[in-house]
Structure 1
Amino acid sequence: MRRLTAASRIAIPLAGALALSACSSSGQDNTDSLQVVNNPVAAKAAVSPAVSVKPAGQVLATPAVSALATDEQSHTLVVALAQPPSVQVYDLGSLGAPKITVPLPGPAESLSTSGGQALASIPTKGVLARISLPGGQVRTEPVAGQPAAGVTDGADTVVAVRDRKAVEVLANGAVTKTITGQLYSADDVIDTGQNVVVLDRLRTAVFSVDVNAGTMGEGLRAGDGAANAVADSYGRVLVTDARAGALLAFSTGPLILRQRYPVPGGAYGIAYDKQRSLAWVTLTGANQVVGFDVRGGEPTEKYRFPTVRQPDSVGVDQRTGRVIVGSAAGEGTQVIQP
C-alpha cells in the first residue's frame, strides 16, 4: 500500500466534505439532501480570453485538441483532434511533426495510456478505441451507451459510461461486470494502483469502486464543480473544481477529503508528474498552467507559465518533466520545459 505523507494523513474538515447518501438507480433522487440544485449541470472550462502574453516554450501547429496523453513505454505523445476525428502520435524525442495520424470513428473525449497503448473514449459512437503505440494500429470495442473515459486495471479495462450512470469492466473486449449505484453521471475513472475512483460531474462528486466485488462504495462531494481528476504518487486522487477554483486531494481506501487548496483563474485540466511530485493545473480563465508540488500538507506553487488560448488539456513527459498543453480553440499544442 502506498503511504501518505505525515501531513497528508490529517483530515481537513470542510464544508461539502460530506458522505453522499444513496440515490435511486433510475436517476436523481429529489430527497437527496446534498443535491446542490434541482437540475444539475456538469461544470465546463471557463472561456478563455484572447492571448495577451506569448505562450511559453514551443507551440506545435494543431487543430482543436480534445484530449492528450503521454506514454512512457513507447515515449510518445498522443493528441486527440476534434476535427477531423483522429489522434496524432508524436515521438517525444522529436516533436517537430507527428509520426502518424490515426483516423477515429468519432471525436475522442478522453485519452489514457498504459504500456504502449492508448485508450480513446468516443461517446458519440459508443466505442472505446485501443491504439497501439507507436505504430497506431486501432481496434474498436463497442460499449453500450456513452463511454466517457477508460483506464486499464491489470488485465481489465474499467470504463465510465456516462448516460447509463455505470462503470463497466471489460476483459478481452467482453463485459464481465456492470457496476451501478449512487451516480448521476459517470464521467471519468481513475486508478491509483490500489483503488479505483469514478468522477461524477453532475453530482460534483467522487465515488470509490470495488472492481473485484463489482460494487459502488462510498462517495464524497468534490467542491462546487468537479471537472477533471488524476492519481498522484501517494494513493490519492487530485480533482479540479472549475466553479469554485480549487484543487482537491482525496485519499482512497477509505475515501477521505484531505486538502482543498484555492486555485483562482478557472482551474480545469490536470496532469501529474510522478517523478517530481508535481500536479499541473490549467487555468482556462487566465491562459496559464501552474505546477504545484503536492508532497506536503498543502500544494506549493513551483511554476506558472502563459499558455495557448483555451488550455483545456494537459499532459507530462515523465522522463524530462516537460509539460504539454492542448488548445481546444485550435491554437496549437504547447510544449514547456520547466
Structure 2
Amino acid sequence: MLRRIAIPGAPRHLRFQASSGLLLVPAESANAVVLVDVTKGVVQSTVPVGRQPHDVVAAGERIFVSDEQANDISVIVSTRLDRTLPAPTQPGGVAATAGTFAALGVRSHTLEAFDAQSFATLGTAPAGTAPTHVVADNEGHLYVADTGGEAVLVYAVAPALSQIARLSVPGKPYGLALDPVRHRLWVTLTATNTLEEFDISGGQPKRLATFPSVRQPNSVAVDEKSGIVFVTGTADGVVQIVTPSM
C-alpha cells in the first residue's frame, strides 16, 4: 500500500476524471464528493452535494453526481457545486457518452439522458423491471443491467434516447464494465457466480465466453491497456483477475 487517504464517508463507487487527473469519490453518508489528486495522494477538495451521492461520472470538465435520496443530479464545475438537475426517482448509476450523460432511476425503472452542455433532457426510456447499473461506450450507446429482469438493455442516445437491443442474461446480471479498445462488455452474474464476455463491435452484442467467478461478484473493472479484467468477490473479500484470450 502506497498511501491511505481518509475521506468523510463510505463510498460505493469511484471514477477517474482524465482531464484533471482527479479521482472522484462520492462519500454517501457525508453528502459530498471528494476530489483526490492521485499524483500527490492528497484530497484536493470536498464538494457538498445532495443526499446520498451514489455514483459519479465526468463529461469533459463537468462532474455529474447521482444524489440517490434527493432524486436529483448535482453538477460540479471547477471543484464547486454549479447546479442541481431533476432526475428519475432514486437515481443510481450515471454514465456519459457522446456529449450526453444519463441517469438510471432505480425506483422509477427509467433511464433519462441529458445534454452535457445545455443540461436539456434528451428523453426518457423504460429500463426493465429492476435496473441497477449503467455504463456507456464511446459511440453513443448505454448498457443497463436489469438485474430483476435478467437482461442487459442496450440504448442509443441519438437521434433520441431509445432501446435498441435486449440481451437475455439469466443469473441476475449486476456489475458492468466496458473495454472500449477491444469492444467488449463484461457482466457479472451474482446468482450463478459467473462472468460473461460480450462483443459489442456490431449492432447486436454477441456472447463470446462465460467464466466462473468468485462468490458474489458485485463489481467488475477492466484495464484498457492490457484487457485484463478484475472482479470483486464480496462474499469472501477477494479480487479475481481474468486474462481473456483476444
TM (norm. structure 2) is 0.91
Is the alpha carbon distance of 1:134 and 1:173 closer, same or farther for their aligned partners in structure 2, counting shifts above 3 Å?
closer
Per the alignment, residue 186 of structure 1 pairs with: 91
What is the aligned-residue RMSD (CA, Å)?
Answer: 1.6
Aligned to 1:187, the other structure's residue is in SS state strand
Q: Aligned partners of 1:136 and 1:193: how far apart in 2?
A: 31
Equivalent in 102, 112, 136 of residue 197 of structure 1: 102
Segments of 5+ residues of structure 1 without an aligned counterpart are 1-97
Per the alignment, residue 99 of structure 1 pairs with: 2
Aligned to 1:110, the other structure's residue is in SS state coil
1:111 pairs with 2:14? yes
Write the deviation string for residues 4-25 of structure 1: whole angstroms up to 9, x where unpaired. xxxxxxxxxxxxxxxxxxxxxx
Equivalent in 176, 188, 212 of residue 82 of structure 2: 176
Per the alignment, residue 232 of structure 1 pairs with: 137
Matched letter for residue 202 of structure 1? R
The structure with the greater share of residues assigned to strand is 2
Matched letter for residue 107 of structure 1? A
Equivalent in 48, 57, 68 of residue 151 of structure 1: 57
Whose Rg is larger? 1
Per the alignment, residue 50 of structure 1 pairs with: none
Q: Aligned partners of 2:137 and 2:79: how far apart in 1?
A: 28
Aligned to 1:233, the other structure's residue is in SS state coil
Q: Is the 8 A contact 2:99 2:115 kept in 1?
A: no
Matched letter for residue 185 of structure 1? Q
1:241 pairs with 2:141? no
- Corresponding pairs, count: 240
1:156 deviation in Å?
Answer: 1.4
TM (norm. structure 1) is 0.67
Per the alignment, residue 307 of structure 1 pairs with: 213
Aligned to 2:30, the other structure's residue is in SS state coil
Q: Is the 8 A contact 2:217 2:231 kept in 1?
A: yes
Write the deviation string for residues 6-65 of structure 1: whole angstroms up to 9, x where unpaired. xxxxxxxxxxxxxxxxxxxxxxxxxxxxxxxxxxxxxxxxxxxxxxxxxxxxxxxxxxxx
Equivalent in 21, 31, 48 of residue 142 of structure 1: 48
Is the alpha carbon distance of 1:151 and 1:296 closer, same or farther for their aligned partners in structure 2, counting shifts above 3 Å?
same
Q: Aligned partners of 1:312 and 1:128: how far apart in 2?
A: 22
Q: Is the 8 A contact 1:233 1:277 kept in 2?
A: no
Q: Aligned partners of 1:104 and 1:176: how far apart in 2?
A: 22
Per the alignment, residue 260 of structure 1 pairs with: 166
Greater RCO (CA < 8 Å, at least 6 residues apart): 1
Q: Aligned partners of 2:86 and 2:166: how far apart in 1?
A: 28
